[in-house]
Structure 1
Amino acid sequence: MRSRVLLAATAAMILLLQPVPARASGQVATLSRTSVKPGETIRVDGEGWTPGQLLQFVTCGEGGLTGSAACDTRAALATPVRTDGTFVVDLQIGDPPRACPCVVHIGEVLGASGEDPVDLPIILAGHASGSLPAGATQVRTLELQDYYLSGRSSAAWFGAAEHLTLTFTVRNPTTSTLVSAVLQARLDGGGDDNVYFQQKVEDLKPGESRTFHVPVDIPMFAFGRYVAHADVSGLATVTLRYNAYPWGLFLINIGGLVLIAWGVWRRFRRRRVLRDLSPADAMLPAVVRLGSLGAFLVFDDAPGARGLRRHAGAQLSLDSLRTLIGDGQSHAHGASVLDLDALGHVLARRYPRGISLLEEEKE
């Protein structure tokens, strides 16, 4: 009698593990082989899935009922669904950390469409076998209650790195306890959308809510849109966008361009003024060096004239200048080097505010 019961149980298990399609909400998936060793590769085919959806394939123990803690996540494989809703994957079978019955678990990575996962039974030769945990019922949905991104700073306007926090709260609306799940986080936009954060979620009881805090680091000088994704085993998914545009750097660069343009315009305008001067005016620049006196003749509109005047600490009036150089009457005796009457006439016309003579520093 006992041998008949054992034979019947074995036959039922063989029938269960035949490569027949597994269906859930119109989704179809099949295995090329149902009896393999860990490390071997089999082909998984599917149809009826959401086009473009990213699916994860992983080998799990305990019938896949106790969450990702019973799965060999190191051998997990992710691939997108084709535009016609099909996929073909060559999957390397993993070595689950829990005893069989074992399955190939196929589920959405982010759980955006809400489709149910598919568990395909498989026999792992040489792997430990056991019974399903008592009362193990898989939780297939979680409610997302609240989520937000915090930690923004004004320094990001100038290209500084941002250390943000994604905070979200989920609730277990089912009558079963979420025995084991994994919180995963990804960041798109920086050239890398791999999982950068993982955290185990244990024993989320029916009706219980739990809040999670996920770090989100935006690199220095980031530019463009970044998208932060976080999900709890694909059951509750949160997606937040962060726009990284360092407007402060843009304003600084624009200000620098305006200053450059103003300087070029001012230089061009000065050249036009000098071009339009008469020869008599053009012979008198803003600063004139008098070699015979070892001094400079600086006009009030010369650049830096005020600072030069402070540095010299003295001014010479026109009368003092006549005394040093000589007046027009001494010109016949060779004592005068300038016609000061003519110079005074030109200076008075061009520089009505007066002039100053600054002595040159002796070496």
Structure 2
Amino acid sequence: MTYLRTAAGALLAALLLAALPATATATAAERPGVALSQSQGGKGGEITVSGSGWKPGALLMLLVCGQATPAQGVVGGTNSCANTDGRAATVDAKGAFSRRLPVAEPPSPCPCVVHVAGVTGQQDVVDVAFTVAGHPTAPLPEPSGRGALRVLTSARLEGSSGVLVWFGAPARREVVVTLGNLGRTAVRDPVFEVGTSHGVFSPQYEERQWRGTVEPGRKAVVRLPVELTAGAHGDYQVSVRYGGQVIIEQPWGVGRPWGVTLFWLLLAVVVPAALFRLGMAVVDRVRPPGRRRIRQSAAGRPRPARRAPGPVSAPAAGAGDEPTAVLPWFTPDSAPSENSPTTKGQS
């Protein structure tokens, strides 16, 4: 029985040892690889970059970068790469690609690498050591832990203006962009700086922290709020800065708050009318009491119709009639008679 157990254990160990190399080989085959036609070159030359094991149809970006090693990746991010001399490559149906890349001096000193990163279809990153002849060399800086975030898609502004914005309320939007981590370290809760500028004025930046983690070789959709001052209108420029570098610039056109103009027009009509009515009320209160009562009675009772002037005939005297009143400017003694001589007849 002991012999059988020993034989079974030996057989199982042999099977495990035989399977380990096959598993390692399969893992290595699944990982994308990159090869260079030469390990060094001078400015103005060309090298051939080829790869295998990539996802068919993936779009890759090829760059010569400084301050980088295959173990630590591009420490300074894409700002340390010769971006203007980069090339794009598309993976064929077999998962392979081959592209000629011009040798350019990166803005940062060596050690240098050929940086191959997936843009669409695959997010893997592979760095291969490369020496740029005649380019300065310097020790790698201390890792800052910020990672290497890169804009993968064009930024856009999302959101809409409400009714209150038409009356001068602050306009709000969200800057939406897809960022990829091309470094070797994860980026946790990155802090961005968002600013807006109008005309020739420089942007005023405010810190915006995005909550989340972007693992190496992964991407994430980042949303950053942006807000203007009350009553702002016209053409604005939204800028997003990360690590001291501007990574996003997006125009933003804001309409004029016509509700404010309408409010001031109505105010210009209502206030004078209210002041006029108030003045009339004050004048009516300071009017003397008698005139005010007369005015009130006249206002409450219709005025009698006036008769047309005409000759007044005296009623005929009768037996039962009362004596007629004597006019004030005539007296019985001074009334003229028919027999009294006139002044003109006297001589």
Check whether TM > 0.5. no
> Max radius of gyration: which structure?
2
What TM-score does the superposition give when structure 1 sets the normalisation length?
Answer: 0.36
Report the TM-score when normalising by structure 2.
0.37
